[in-house]
Structure 1
Amino acid sequence: MLLIGYLYGIPSERRLEEEVKVNLAFRWFLGLGLEDKVPDHSTISQNRRRRFKDSTVFQDIFDHIVQLCIEKGLVTGEIVVVDSTHIKTYASPEKVEKVQIDKKPSDYLIQLEDEVKKIEENLQRKREVKGYKKRGVQRQIKKNIRK
């Protein structure tokens, strides 16, 4: 599932869980039937943290796929094919700046980790506020009972 999240730029495990629930192509890729239960976002998160931490599994899968394509003659490195759509624009070719963006699978995992930390911090703050309010209400009830 994490591979799907990486390939499709899905930013969180909760969103990944929801996408897999409704996307038949994702279910097919994962070997899930229509009635099969999708793993919970917390299960996905725990697997990412425990099994795939400091792992090169995404890069290994990509390298393997490229190797299979080379073996089948789909990739030779001699011809480059580009799929594009021409649209009218006001950009000047002289102003075009080529920038290479290197985004690694580890960057995606770091992004997921940051999202999880934010969610956990928000939950902790909410729990603290609820606990404080609860204790305050309990004190008020005790005061009222004493009166």
Structure 2
Amino acid sequence: MSVTTYFFIARLPGSFPTNAQLIKSAQTSHYSRVGRPSVAPEMLLKAMLLQAFYSIRSERQLMERLEFDLLFRWFVGLGIDEAVWDASVFAKNRDRLLEGDIAAKFLAAVLSQPKVTRLLSTEHFSVDGTLVEAWASMKSFKPKSNKDADAPPVGGRNADVDFRGQKRPDDTHQSTTDPEARLCRKGSGMEAKLCFMGHLLMENRAGLLVGTCLTSADGHAERIAALAMIEPRADRPQAISVGADKAFDAEDFVNELRSRNVRPHVAQNTNGRRSAIDRRTTRHAGYAMSQKLRKRIEEGFGWIRTVAGRRKTRFRRKDRVGWDFTFAAAYTLIRLPKLLGALA
């Protein structure tokens, strides 16, 4: 991340809610009055941004970087002579912050800035989803009726298990590490993993992420999440458009969009079946434009999975993984300085 981006984020009015606002949102009772001093919420958020921007894998590595990097210290608000937080204290405070809806409010606060609002389109969007690997081993995926599933392994190590030829559906099996994770694979012939599914909503004009969602991984999650994210923006007299890939080419999904006054700019899936998208949609020039622009959402997924390190989550339970995935939408902050500079 460039120095220009540092100064832009630090000076963006209202991007970071005040300490009092964040404490009120996360509830004051989440912070202890005894033991080591807590980390101020706005400093915690800035430190988590640095962790995503610079692919820092753990809280301990982040604290080591804060020890010697003056730019890191300036960004989070630590003086040169101030002691760096304890890594365990940082993790505890972050976990308490997860209990509040701070990630979504942070993203909304950034997008509500007047300079940012004029970049956003209110008519043309794109949706897509990706698998987020759960923090659970395949060996933890055991039958629900197995009473010995939670028994400690014999011999002090995980037993060798051969899964070849076994059928392990989600309705009969469950992970003992993260029961909310589901067994899923990205495509035919690929290995199955314990996953969640993350979803993004992108506006097409500037390619900024304006909505996130995380659900259980199943065959209908992408379409259900897309409807949930687009519905608040469809409540207007003028129709809006939504671009999507072939996975969204289903008659029920297309009909739901049309009933909400949304134009379904979905890629046609003609692989051995009839597409739900016909000439009523494809004949318009806007359809071809949506199909071209919707691919930019993959840039957001690529940044979240590689740079921000969310290819595999470090949290358990859907609500905590969802908070972390929403916060990873800080990809928007990376693109804003260049976009606003072009308008100046």
TM-score w.r.t. the length of structure 2 is 0.23
Larger RCO (CA within 8 A; separation ≥ 6): 1
Bigger share in strand: 2
Greater C-alpha Rg: 1
Bigger share in helix: 1
TM-score w.r.t. the length of structure 1 is 0.48
